[in-house]
Chain A
Amino acid sequence: GAGVSQSPSNKVTEKGKDVELRCDPISGHTALYWYRQRLGQGLEFLIYFQGNSAPDKSGLPSDRFSAERTGESVSTLTIQRTQQEDSAVYLCASSFPPGGADTQYFGPGTRLTVL
């Protein structure tokens, strides 16, 4: 079946603008994750949704970042008042079920550039 999809693939915005990034997980996957990868760096965890449980927001870098998920489907990551340091590739992953042995499937990412 289809993999994880993300849109847009590229986003260029001006400093101070708000952006929304979308993730469509694999159908049936109950867990969804957002990560950020700055140029030349490893991935940083941002937020994790699991079913109807409260999301784990421990990785969000500031209150300008927020994310929502509708049931067990689409998720949107919103960055308000973007800053140049927000420039990065934002990656979404999904899995089923959660736990030590589950495999995360990653989307292609959204490359965000803040001018």
Chain B
Amino acid sequence: DAKTTQPNSMESNEEEPVHLPCNHSTISGTDYIHWYRQLPSQGPEYVIHGLTSNVNNRMASLAIAEDRKSSTLILHRATLRDAAVYYCILRGTSYGKLTFGQGTILTVHP
């Protein structure tokens, strides 16, 4: 799987938008971009994924650069419950495992 690069940590205030960046300059044409998050003392949970177009769901939005070499996870209004480690992961179409990097630790201040 191609490598991703994320900032080690980010901070936000409650009810403000948060933009979590991810660089993946070696992405291949068939790699999907997945985001998972891990709340304290819990297993990871799926957030969102996309291939080429921007995606929205009830949890977040995913903005994908036109050249697909980077993407941004957008939390529109951060809550204290969004404090977690966020992982950006690339996955090809034929392999099931997820390759987790160190992720971004998001701290949300009240």
Contact = CB atoms under 8 A, between A and B. Distances in A.
Q: Tell whether A and B belong to one assembly.
A: yes
A100 B93 contact: yes
Given A100-B32, A101-B32, A105-B46, A42 B87 contact: yes
B32 A106 contact: no
Contact of B94 (A45, A48, A99): A99
14 contacts: A35-B100, A42-B101, A42-B103, A43-B44, A45-B99, A50-B96, A100-B31, A100-B91, A101-B51, A103-B46, A104-B46, A106-B44, A109-B42, A109-B43
Given A42-B87, A106-B45, A109-B43, A98 B96 contact: yes
B102 interface: yes
A45 B97 contact: yes
B46 A42 contact: no
Contacts of B96: 31, 33, 48, 50, 56, 95, 98-99, 102
Contacts, number: 65
Given A59-B97, A98-B96, A100-B92, 20 more contacts: A4-B43, A33-B97, A35-B98, A35-B100, A42-B102, A43-B44, A43-B100, A45-B99, A48-B96, A56-B97, A99-B96, A100-B30, A101-B51, A103-B46, A105-B46, A106-B43, A106-B44, A108-B42, A109-B42, A109-B43
Interface residues of A, number: 28
A96 to B, nearest CB: 11
Interface in B40-88: 42-46, 49, 51, 87
A54 to B, nearest CB: 13
B54 to A, nearest CB: 16
Contacts of B93: 99-101
A62 to B, nearest CB: 18
A26 interface: no
Contacts of A21: none
A91 B101 contact: no
A20 to B, nearest CB: 19
